[in-house]
């Protein structure tokens, strides 16, 4: 995907660019708010990564301008302002996700993938299918190879989230925020425990294995190629 | 200041005296005039009834009957010439006038050099007759002099007292302000132990000193806790950073293969993450303590919060060999911040799971009465000795027994801050055996 990173700190910008290019994305950099606005107005990007404190124009003002102009490119705020109020302000201004610095590359890459506008229409599907695993959001049913599986409500939401992001890495934090609504980092293995229980139900008695652990990043649900 | 008050005092005294003066002298004057008016009325009716001769008869009768001691002075002039009367007038003058007559008794002390004062009223008739009716006014004059003299003395004395009293009070106040200034100066220089002396008179200065002393005490406590926190942060962060440095140093000297370097880098990232985690926790506590989140308070379904925690943590607890008991009342709502309450209760649950041996029972209870709602997490693990319960909510404080478990020592501090934001307190008590941690929310 084509990413525009609007970030004035050259070291952070280089870190973002290198990390995303390594994953096969094309990255442009703008080091101030005005250039960022001009470049983003071209509408040729799939994702904008925006710092909040920028020379020339704040990230918030920039995103508001874009939204006012009808440009709906997904925006990921990446900023040192990590308080709850800051977060709410960022999302209110038109941002789609909000990450506080310091950050891990794996987290940024996973969230960037989740926001990619080329795939963001998938949230509307109500019947999800990966290999021989099927999930019906409306009927609340899960089948693997035609066999119905009994899942707890939270396991169902966990599986739904993984399936909506099939083929992508989702991080612990993304799961905590979206499945449990936890905005803090638990000190016990909440995610690990629940994923392992889900695995027991989904993967133990069936082939192929679908839930994979991505070391140092998170999990990925995908069909073998 | 002092001069201003003296001026104000003098002005108010002057106003007061002026009122007294007008009330007394004015009253006497009005009385006298009305007596004179009455007499003029009766003489005028005599003139109307009997003409000039009738008037003359009436005046002579009055003068003859009343004699010189009556205080009445009457005169009739016809075309400027005196007809009858006990006062000689040089000219006719209609209207009120004060004249002076030769003293009735020259030896009298009250007699002034220019004679006795007489207040009178002149009436001019159409045929050139002029009537003067006057009355001795020396009583009014005397009273006037008496009052003016008395008031002058009073005013002088009052002014003097005001000046003396003002100076005395001002000097006293000034001395006490100086004491406060001096103490404040010492405190600014760093002597935080100093306090403003209290005289025990219970006046406003004592109240002020008391408030200032309380303020100073609070400042001192805050300064000390800030010093403590700064030291603790430095200690707590120096340890992992020091370890990381040692590791990197030794890798640079001894490592030669890529896996060895990779292991060192992984370790460094892990340690850095712990440092970042500590900073994030500190920032979060600071954000909560600032109180800004109160603006986001709303009705929170505490039952659903507790149920979400049971759902999330029961499998974790079971995995670690703990027994899990939940007793949650339905439909309990409180006013607050859902995310923060979730985090506070999650911290308590995690503490119970992490700091108790396998096989322990972890209990989550939510109970409610019409007056309050209590959310509690209890276990039958080792508990916290009573004298240390107050300390565990301090930042970075960790029990000896839990030092081996990873953690920042900020968990309970965060819970305490969240509790305070919600107007309640984190209550730690003996679960006999084990620890019971609870938050009691008032419903009023």
Hey, is B143 helix, strand or coil?
A: helix
Mean pLDDT for B128-135 is: 86
A116 and A185, same structural domain? Answer: no
Higher pLDDT, B323 or B110: B323
Rounded to a whole number, what is the distance in Å from the CA of B298 to chain A's nearest CA?
Answer: 15
Closest CB to B353 among A88, A188, A197: A188
Upstream peptide bond of A208 is cis (omega within 30 degrees of 0): yes
pLDDT over 70 percentage in chain B: 93
pLDDT of residue B357: 92
Q: Which of B187, B188, B208, B190 is nearest to B198 (CA)?
A: B208
pLDDT of residue B144: 84
Whole-complex ipTM: 0.81
Could B350 and A184 be called an inter-chain contact, meaning their C-beta atoms sit closer than 8 Å?
no
pLDDT of residue B67: 64
pLDDT of residue B218: 85
pLDDT of residue B401: 62
> Which of the listed residues A67, A94, A120 is the one where a domain comes to its end?
A120
Q: Which of B307, B314, B351 is nearest to B331 (CA)?
A: B307
Closest CB to B276 among A102, A154, A182: A102
Q: Which 8-state DSSP code applies to residue B348?
A: H
Mean pLDDT for B243-269 is: 88
pLDDT over 90 percentage in chain A: 65
pLDDT of residue B318: 92
Could B346 and A152 be called an inter-chain contact, meaning their C-beta atoms sit closer than 8 Å?
no
Residue B121 has pLDDT above 60, yes or no: yes
Could B296 and A84 be called an inter-chain contact, meaning their C-beta atoms sit closer than 8 Å?
yes
A90 and A51, same structural domain? Answer: yes
Q: What is the mean pLDDT of chain A?
A: 90
Phi/psi of residue B48, nearest 5 degrees: -65, -40
A172 and A78, same structural domain? Answer: no
Most confident range, picked from B28-32, B348-352, B386-390, B397-401: B348-352
| pTM: predicted TM-score of the whole model, two decimal places | 0.65
Could B308 and A181 be called an inter-chain contact, meaning their C-beta atoms sit closer than 8 Å?
yes
A–B CB contacts, 8 A cutoff, strictly below: 58
Distance (Å, rounded) from C-alpha B78 to C-alpha B236? Answer: 121
Tell me if B109 sits within 8 A of B158, measured CB to CB.
no
A169 and A213, same structural domain? Answer: yes
Chain A residue whose CA is closest to B353: A188
Higher pLDDT, B364 or B407: B364
> Which of the listed residues A64, A96, A120 is the one where a domain comes to its end?
A120
Q: Which of B248, B229, B252, B251 is nearest to B240 (CA)?
A: B248
A69: CB partners within 8 A, 6+ apart: A41
Residue A161 has pLDDT above 80, yes or no: yes
Q: Which of B443, B293, B283 is nearest to B369 (CA)?
A: B443
B12 confidence band (pLDDT: 50, 70, 90) = confident
Hey, is B189 helix, strand or coil?
A: coil
pLDDT of residue B407: 66
Most confident range, picked from A23-32, B116-125, B233-242, B266-275: A23-32
Mean pLDDT for B438-444 is: 86
Residues of chain A in contact with residue B410, where contact means CB-CB under 8 angstroms, are: none
B99 confidence band (pLDDT: 50, 70, 90) = confident
Q: Would an 8 Å CB–CB cutoff place B415 in contact with chain A?
A: no
A111 and A16, same structural domain? Answer: yes
Pairing of strands A47-50, A75-79: parallel
Q: Which two tokens stand for residue A27?
A: 């990255």
Distance (Å, rounded) from C-alpha B262 to C-alpha B239? Answer: 22
pLDDT of residue A122: 59
Angle between helices B411-421 and B258-289 (to 10 degrees): 20
Mean pLDDT for B46-66 is: 83
Residues of chain B in contact with residue A178, where contact means CB-CB under 8 angstroms, are: none
Rounded to a whole number, what is the distance in Å from the CA of A37 to chain B's nearest CA?
Answer: 31
What is the separation, in whole angstroms, between the first and last Cα of chain B? 50
A48 and A29, same structural domain? Answer: yes
A111 and A57, same structural domain? Answer: yes
Rounded to a whole number, what is the distance in Å from the CA of B402 to chain A's nearest CA?
Answer: 14
Angle between helices A153-164 and B302-319 (to 10 degrees): 80
Q: Would an 8 Å CB–CB cutoff place B407 in contact with chain A?
A: yes
Show the domain range for A203. 127-221
Could B312 and A190 be called an inter-chain contact, meaning their C-beta atoms sit closer than 8 Å?
yes
Its sign, for the CA torsion B44, B46, B51, B52, is negative
pLDDT of residue B404: 60
A71: CB partners within 8 A, 6+ apart: A40, A41, A43
> Which of the listed residues A120, A136, A160 is the one where a domain comes to its end?
A120
Mean pLDDT for B175-179 is: 86
Higher pLDDT, A121 or B442: B442
A6 and A116, same structural domain? Answer: yes
Its sign, for the CA torsion B89, B93, B95, B96, is negative
Dihedral angle of Cα A163, A169, A172, A174, to the nearest 10 degrees: -70
Residue B107 has pLDDT above 60, yes or no: no
B403 confidence band (pLDDT: 50, 70, 90) = low
**Which of A205-219, B82-96, B171-185, B301-315 has the weakest average pLDDT?**
B82-96
Chain A residue whose CA is closest to B269: A104
Q: What is the mean pLDDT of chain B?
A: 85
Q: Which of A78, A67, A156, A164 is nearest to A119 (CA)?
A: A164
A132 and A116, same structural domain? Answer: no
Residue B113 has pLDDT above 80, yes or no: no
Q: Which two tokens stand for residue A208?
A: 């192929």
List, as ranges, residues 55-114 from A with C-beta within 8 Å of B: 82-85, 88, 100, 102
List the CATH number of the domain containing A55: 3.40.50.2300
A101 and A42, same structural domain? Answer: yes
pLDDT of residue A215: 86
Phi/psi of residue B189, nearest 5 degrees: -75, -5
Q: List, for residues B272-306, the tens digit of each pLDDT value.
A: 888 888 888 888 888 888 888 888 899 999 999 99
How far does CA B326 lie from the centroid of its chain? 50
Distance (Å, rounded) from C-alpha B2 to C-alpha A118? Answer: 81
Distance (Å, rounded) from C-alpha B377 to C-alpha B347? Answer: 10
pLDDT of residue A142: 95
Could B354 and A187 be called an inter-chain contact, meaning their C-beta atoms sit closer than 8 Å?
yes
Give kind and range of the element (H or E) at residue B421: helix B411-421
Residue A220 has pLDDT above 80, yes or no: yes
Q: Would an 8 Å CB–CB cutoff place A146 in contact with chain B?
A: no
Q: List, for residues B192-238, the tens digit of each pLDDT value.
A: 888 888 888 888 888 888 888 888 888 888 888 888 888 888 887 88
List the CATH number of the domain containing A206: 1.10.10.10
Tell me if B147 sits within 8 A of B139, measured CB to CB.
no
Rounded to a whole number, what is the distance in Å from the CA of B316 to chain A's nearest CA?
Answer: 6
Closest CB to B312 among A82, A83, A180: A180
Dihedral angle of Cα A67, A70, A71, A73, to the nearest 10 degrees: 70
Q: Which 8-state DSSP code applies to residue A80?
A: S
Pairing of strands A75-79, A97-100: parallel
Hey, is B326 helix, strand or coil?
A: strand
**Residue whose tokens read 């002058």:** B152
Q: Would an 8 Å CB–CB cutoff place B276 in contact with chain A?
A: yes
Residues of chain A in contact with residue B406, where contact means CB-CB under 8 angstroms, are: 187
Distance (Å, rounded) from C-alpha B209 to C-alpha B176? Answer: 10
A116 and A37, same structural domain? Answer: yes
List, as ranges, residues 157-216 from A with C-beta within 8 Å of B: 180-190, 193-194, 197
Long-range contacts of B7-13 (CB under 8 A, 24+ apart): B9/B158, B9/B159, B9/B162, B9/B166, B10/B155, B10/B159, B10/B162, B13/B154, B13/B155, B13/B158, B13/B159
A183 confidence band (pLDDT: 50, 70, 90) = confident
Chain A residue whose CA is closest to B315: A193
Query: How many domains are contained in chain A?
Result: 2
Q: Which of A193, A199, A216 to mutate to test the interface with B (most CBs of B within 10 A)?
A: A193
**Residue whose tokens read 């008391």:** B210
A135 and A109, same structural domain? Answer: no
Could A187 and B406 be called an inter-chain contact, meaning their C-beta atoms sit closer than 8 Å?
yes
Q: Would an 8 Å CB–CB cutoff place A41 in contact with chain B?
A: no
Residue B112 has pLDDT above 60, yes or no: no
Distance (Å, rounded) from C-alpha B268 to C-alpha B286? Answer: 27
Could B308 and A180 be called an inter-chain contact, meaning their C-beta atoms sit closer than 8 Å?
yes
pLDDT over 90 percentage in chain B: 23
């Amino acid at each position: 995907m084509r990413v525009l990173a609007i970030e004035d700190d050259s070291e952070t910008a280089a870190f973002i660019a290198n990390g995303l290019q390594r994953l096969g994305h094309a990255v442009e950099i703008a080091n101030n708010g005005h250039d960022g606005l001009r470049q983003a107005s071209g509408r040729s990007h799939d994702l904008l990564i925006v710092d909040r404190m920028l020379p020339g124009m704040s990230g918030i003002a920039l995103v508001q301008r874009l939204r006012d102009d009808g440009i709906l490119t997904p925006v990921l705020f990446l900023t040192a302002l990590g308080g709850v109020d800051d977060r709410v302000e960022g999302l209110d201004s038109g941002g789609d996700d909000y990450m506080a610095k310091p950050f891990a590359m794996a987290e940024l890459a996973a969230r960037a993938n989740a926001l990619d506008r080329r795939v963001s229409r998938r949230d509307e599907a109500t019947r999800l299918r990966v290999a021989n695993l099927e999930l019906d959001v409306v009927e609340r049913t899960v089948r693997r190879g035609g066999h119905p599986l009994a899942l707890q409500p939270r396991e169902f939401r966990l599986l739904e989230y993984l399936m909506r992001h099939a083929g992508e890495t989702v991080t612990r934090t993304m799961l905590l925020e979206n499945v449990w609504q936890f905005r803090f980092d638990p000190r016990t293995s909440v995610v690990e425990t629940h994923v392992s229980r889900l695995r027991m139900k989904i993967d133990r008695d069936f082939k192929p294995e679908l839930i994979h652990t991505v070391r140092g990043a998170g999990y990925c649900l995908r069909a073998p190629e | 200041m002092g001069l201003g008050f003296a001026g104000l005092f003098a002005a108010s005294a002057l106003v007061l005296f002026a009122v007294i003066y007008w009330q007394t002298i004015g009253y006497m004057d009005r009385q006298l005039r009305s007596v004179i008016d009455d007499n003029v009325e009766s003489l005028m009716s005599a003139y109307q009834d009997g003409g000039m001769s009738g008037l003359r008869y009436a005046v002579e009768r009055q003068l003859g009957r009343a004699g010189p001691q009556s205080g009445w002075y009457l005169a009739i002039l016809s075309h400027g010439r005196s007809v009858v009367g006990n006062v000689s007038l040089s000219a006719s003058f209609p209207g009120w006038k004060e004249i002076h007559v030769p003293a009735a008794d020259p030896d009298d002390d009250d007699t002034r050099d220019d004679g006795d004062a007489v207040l009178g009223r002149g009436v001019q008739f159409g045929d050139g007759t002029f009537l003067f009716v006057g009355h001795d006014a020396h009583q009014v004059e005397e009273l006037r002099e008496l009052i003016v003299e008395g008031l002058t003395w009073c005013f002088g004395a009052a002014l003097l007292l005001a000046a003396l009293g003002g100076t005395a009070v001002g000097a006293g106040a000034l001395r006490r302000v100086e004491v406060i200034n001096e103490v404040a100066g010492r405190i600014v220089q760093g002597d935080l132990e100093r306090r403003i002396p209290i005289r025990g008179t219970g006046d406003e200065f004592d109240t002020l000193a008391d408030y200032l002393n309380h303020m100073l005490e609070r400042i001192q406590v805050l300064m000390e806790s800030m010093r403590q926190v700064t030291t603790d942060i430095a200690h707590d962060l120096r340890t992992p950073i020091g370890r990381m440095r040692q590791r990197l140093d030794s890798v640079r000297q001894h490592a030669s293969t890529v896996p060895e370097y990779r292991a060192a880098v992984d370790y460094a990232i892990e340690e850095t993450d712990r440092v970042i985690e500590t900073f994030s926790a500190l920032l979060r506590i600071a954000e909560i303590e600032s109180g800004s989140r109160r603006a986001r308070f709303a009705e929170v379904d505490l039952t659903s919060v507790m149920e979400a925690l049971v759902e999330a943590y029961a499998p974790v607890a079971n995995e670690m060999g703990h027994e899990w008991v939940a007793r949650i009342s339905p439909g309990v709502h409180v006013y607050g911040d859902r995310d923060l309450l979730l985090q506070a209760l999650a911290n308590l649950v995690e503490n119970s799971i992490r700091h108790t041996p396998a096989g322990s029972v972890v209990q989550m209870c939510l109970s409610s009465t019409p007056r309050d709602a209590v959310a509690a997490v209890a276990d039958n693990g080792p508990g916290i000795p009573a004298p240390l319960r107050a300390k565990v909510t301090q930042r970075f404080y960790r029990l000896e027994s839990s030092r081996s478990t990873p953690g920042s020592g900020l968990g309970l501090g965060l819970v305490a801050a969240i509790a305070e934001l919600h107007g309640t307190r984190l209550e730690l008590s003996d679960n006999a055996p084990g620890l019971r941690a609870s938050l009691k929310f008032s419903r009023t």
